[in-house]
A and B are shown apart, each in its own frame.
Chain A
């Protein structure tokens, strides 16, 4: 009996070292501890022994049984660990350098630059307004103090429609409607509005000229808006737009809807003011027209020009986009040429 037990134990110990998988382990368990397993059969055989023998032999058999169970558990863990290590060792190494298929789409460059500038103005409390593209002669000309016989109203510059309306030639066409919509600001408040828009001029297209282009105009109206405020705001805003401290200078400029009117120059972006070919050695770049809103324009917008003053300024968005992205040919904007436009995939 003892010999037999020792034999069984020795056989098992040998077999279990050879076990490599969970299936083999299970098979081994069944062989020894299953319903008809070797150890189970031994235990069954105990019932034929007398009580004293049974007690001694039972103890011995159970010891073997326990040690087998223990070995099964230990080796189970061993097999799991080995399998894990094996699976790690045999894992496929992925080629992280294979390019992903990205398809990001793109926004139009005008949308991008317009949004950037709008964000700056919004942070300074400006309302963004969106005027119509088809305008009346009144809004486009009369209401901004461009009288009947002004050269700007000549047929060759403006697209006139058969119903007597026209395609707006400048964003200023929205001024009157905006003043009427918001009215004069409450005491102590200012009306601050930015109004970007698409404008049209009846001319032939080439690399530098478009009949359809974007402008952005802003105005600020209040009881005590002054030239000093105008220069201050322009300086702050342009420093934000160009992300650097800009120097500005004002020169007299004539635009019918402002008085006084100015041409605003910034120190050259390329040379910083030293003089280079971009600024024609002057150190200055002509950037935007601006001025104090003409009293007639305020009055036509229903705002008392004795009580209120304001300033207005315009920015050529298309031109700014060309400068910023170094676009040489203005025709790119309306081309729908995706080879060009897909490049504008960043926000």
Chain B
């Protein structure tokens, strides 16, 4: 929003104040100022000129040769404006003067000498009107500098609208002036208004409010309006504040909106006679005054002339009842509509206007009547012959409760951490319009109506009022005086970071991020089938509406994007998935680690065992524990997994995830040579297992012995089966056994394979005799012999 300092000066005396510094304080205490514009400085040496003579230009039909009285001399001027006439008073830029970026010099125009320039409103920056010369009234003598009666020079600053979201009182110059008066400690002048009491005996306008989205509807009717054009200074202010001057009545409603923040609408009173505010049951078409036909939904509140809709409440008037050149009587609307309702209607219509954006901030209903009185004051000063033709009609349907906030200085001290004196608290709040009663350090503050609609309702709001005026720059900074307390370690978070570091540093993996939803389109292209999971109802992208229940599809896509560049891709992500809904209807959100290894060089088997190592190494590092596996089949196999090589992963009997090869049909769609292996771990399940405390086992003083035995078993037998037999052997002198290698040879071993296991024997009491070791070896062989397993 653009704010004119000239306008502000109408309401508070700013003489002797540095504007830049003041605007800087405004940013720190009230709202962010985005830009400051010094305007009108580029109009110089422009005076009132009286056109004395007009002659045709010898070489041009469009140009005229003028003799212009500029006060101290009569100068020649070549002018192309269509509206020149003898006797006209116009703004005249003298030689040596300046208009905008144009320096005025003595020049020949089409062969004739021109010593100056007659100006249009646009050239002076007053309005967009460039249709002809600006015609001045004759109250100022030729030669008078136009700046002596036109407020061309101004400082205009632009406030970030977002920072005014919660300050409905600052959507007009008067409200800004109030803030500035507080910041400068200068008094705020009361609003100069036109008293309407003498018309109270006239008939009221018929106003009927049928909608509950209306707080107040005030109106008055005025006749005998003869002036059509706004005074130049009003035009200048409107233009500087970003609103195009149109005609006196329209300009006045806009001027009032910019001054008080109260949107107003002027209906042609010859068309609109009685007001009904209501909603319609059905959707219908309505032409707004910008000549666009719009669809009105039942929720949108309409202003009607009897039964005929004439305006969209709080948004825009209708084409049929708008002010025209011929309008001499108006019915003036100054109303307060429900902010939420206006915002919703404006969004639905795609029509956000200056009025609607003010209403949606929740304006003070107390403003409607002063706005009418101020409007009349300005109108009468411009067009003294106007007649008020109705009583001021005020339909005040809904009121905000008055709010009184009680607090004491101790509360302010605690909240601020500094000592702001009770006098200063009282002074600040009073200046801001609060009605303060104080008993030593106890305060009662009645919140002014223009702050109560939205932003000041509780004690904490009072703190903001006091501190922002006090100035945050003036705060003394203090650390807290709290007890030191060690922070409990956050194992889960640390473990997560350890995993990431380990995967990146030890296995040279790359961490990626993906979205929380599936890329359904790419999944389909790659033949990745996903479950029916929770959906987003209003996604911008129709293909991305399903929340992921597994990390793997996005990792497959992520890897596939990189396989053109890298023949070996190892990526991982820790992120969230949703595993359907819980019993309470809420999403079952889980944190998962997903890993994908993809290679065009390594065999599937290499990748598979690398992944197994990765998982076990992570588990050993973090949980000092082993993983276990169980085969899955049928429904339990994820759709993207190879049905043969896929297992579930367990940590201490808790299922923590799944790992295996990617289904070849997906691999083939990505690259003929690529092989992929995945793993997915539920980190919350993983963290359920707490590692046992570390223990130390005394090292034996006596040497131990190792014996390697190679067993001949069926090719299909898993090591874990052999383990289950070996685990049956109990002897305190067998310290441990471990896997050495598995060996297959179709020629020699045929459908058998050899598994070599290393046994470590030893005792803490003595060195074992070789006979004892031989005995134990024999016992182990006996045990396996019962299962049909012998040595190779």
Interface residues of A (CB under 8 A from B): 103-108, 110-111, 115, 122, 125-128, 130, 132-134, 136, 149, 151, 154-156, 158-165, 167, 188-190, 198, 200, 202-204, 211-212, 220, 222, 224-229, 231-233, 235-236, 249-254, 259-263, 292, 294-296, 309, 333-339, 341-342, 345, 347
Contact = CB atoms under 8 A, between A and B. Distances in A.
16 contacts: A122-B487, A128-B490, A134-B547, A158-B538, A159-B538, A163-B534, A167-B516, A188-B482, A189-B483, A224-B414, A226-B418, A231-B475, A295-B460, A333-B513, A336-B562, A339-B562
A103 B554 CA distance: 24
Contacts of B497: 111, 115
A262 B516 CA distance: 32
A167 B482 CA distance: 36
A89 to B, nearest CB: 40
B547 A161 contact: yes
A260 B507 CA distance: 49
A161 B535 contact: yes
A250 B27 CA distance: 10
Contacts of B554: 336
A329 to B, nearest CB: 14
B493 A336 contact: no
Contact of A229 (B480, B515, B539): B480
A325 to B, nearest CB: 15
A345 B510 CA distance: 9
A107 B490 contact: no
Interface string B554-585: 10011101100110011100011010010001
B179 to A, nearest CB: 11
A335 B480 CA distance: 43
B565 A106 contact: no
Interface in B487-511: 487-488, 490, 492-493, 497, 500-501, 503-505, 507-511
A107 B500 contact: yes
B36 to A, nearest CB: 11
Interface in B143-185: 163, 165-167
B343 interface: yes
Nearest to B581: A163
A341 B510 contact: yes
Contact of B416 (A134, A167, A198, A227): A227
Contact of B490 (A105, A127, A222, A347): A127
Contact of B540 (A133, A164, A211): A211
Contacts of B484: 125
A157 to B, nearest CB: 10
A250 B163 CA distance: 13
B32 interface: yes
A200 B480 contact: no
A167 to B, nearest CB: 7
B463 A260 contact: yes
Contacts of B61: none
B415 A249 contact: no
Given A104-B504, A107-B500, A336-B513, 15 more contacts: A105-B509, A111-B497, A130-B492, A160-B537, A163-B534, A163-B585, A167-B536, A189-B483, A190-B482, A229-B479, A232-B478, A254-B455, A336-B559, A336-B562, A339-B562
Given A228-B416, A336-B571, A162 B537 contact: yes
A231 B547 contact: no
Nearest to B554: A336
Contacts of B581: 163
Given A106-B510, A227-B417, A338 B562 contact: yes
Given A228-B416, A228-B477, A309-B414, A161 B558 contact: no
Interface string B29-46: 111100000000000000
B55 interface: no
A250 B472 contact: yes
A262 B472 CA distance: 10
B28 A338 contact: no
A259 B464 contact: yes
A132 B562 contact: no
Contact of B510 (A105, A167, A212): A105
In the A-B complex, list the 3 residue pairs whose CB atoms are closest, starting with the nearest.
A226-B417, A228-B417, A336-B558
B461 interface: yes
B698 interface: no
Contacts of B537: 160-162
Which of B511, B514, B540, B559 neighbours the largest number of chain A CB atoms within 10 Å of its CB?
A: B511
Nearest to A164: B585
Given A105-B503, A228-B477, A259-B458, A202 B539 contact: yes
A158 B343 CA distance: 18
B623 interface: no
Given A107-B504, A159-B536, A227-B415, A222 B460 contact: no
B547 A105 contact: no
B417 A336 contact: no
A159 B539 contact: yes
B752 interface: no
B281 interface: no
A136 B508 contact: no
B57 interface: no
Contacts of A204: 540
Contacts of B504: 104-107, 345
B472 A336 contact: no
A254 B163 contact: yes
Contacts of A127: 487-488, 490
Given A133-B516, A161-B536, A252-B464, A106 B477 contact: no
Nearest to A252: B468
A202 B539 CA distance: 7
A292 B462 CA distance: 13
Given A132-B589, A228-B475, A254 B487 contact: no
Contacts of B566: 338
B72 interface: no
A336 B512 contact: yes
Interface in B424-478: 455, 458-461, 463-464, 467-468, 472-473, 475-478
A33 B558 CA distance: 79
A225 B416 CA distance: 8
Contact of A337 (B31, B480, B561, B586): B561
Nearest to A222: B482
Contacts of A341: 510-512
A190 B487 CA distance: 12
A163 B586 contact: yes
B645 to A, nearest CB: 25
A256 B501 CA distance: 39
Contacts of B510: 105-106, 338, 341-342
A155 B538 contact: yes
Which of B27, B460, B468, B487 neighbours the largest number of chain A CB atoms within 10 Å of its CB?
A: B460
Given A133-B576, A341-B510, A226 B414 contact: yes
A252 B29 contact: yes
Contact of B340 (A125, A130, A149): A149
B732 interface: no
A167 B547 CA distance: 10
Which of A122, A126, A200, A229 neighbours the largest number of chain B CB atoms within 10 Å of its CB?
A: A229
B347 interface: yes
A229 B478 contact: yes
B586 A136 contact: yes
B578 A134 contact: yes
Nearest to B463: A260
Contacts of A156: 538
A309 B508 CA distance: 47
B480 A224 contact: yes
B481 interface: yes
B524 interface: no
A19 to B, nearest CB: 44
Given A107-B511, A336-B513, A160 B482 contact: no
A233 B538 CA distance: 40
A133 B515 CA distance: 12
A160 B416 CA distance: 39
B485 interface: yes
